[in-house]
Amino acid sequence: MTIEATLRSRVSDAFPQALVLLENESYKHNVPEGSETHFGMTVVAEEFESMPRVKRHQAVYGLVSDLLDGPVHALALHLYTPEQWRERNQQSPMSPECLGGGR
């Protein structure tokens, strides 16, 4: 299974009713073509309604911490309740361009 599929699967399994949007952003960085090292993930889940923002991040990072210790260099998380997602017009923030790595 690819790293991208593993990330998506773990979060979807933990939050079965959630909207999970995942983008491999590795191509924006100074890594070999086809890399799976940089990701942006948006999760919209009702479970987040009872969680402060820090707890949401801890919950998701806990699902993928082994990947962050290994092949994944960066994971940008955008975690919303359904109401917050509607207020954002169902738009995830854009990741900034890479500024390092000899690019």
pLDDT digits (tens, 9 = 90+) for 21-58: 999 988 787 777 887 888 999 999 999 999 999 999 99
| pTM more than 0.85 | yes
| Whether the predicted pLDDT of 101 surpasses 70 | no
The contacts of residue 14 (CB under 8 Å, 6+ apart) are 59, 63
* Cα 83–chain centre separation: 19
Res. 9: pLDDT tops 60: yes
**What residues does each domain of the chain span?**
3-87
Average of per-residue pLDDT values in the chain: 91
Of 99 and 42, the one with more pLDDT:
42
Q: Considering the domain 3-87 in this protein, what is its CATH number?
A: 3.30.300.90
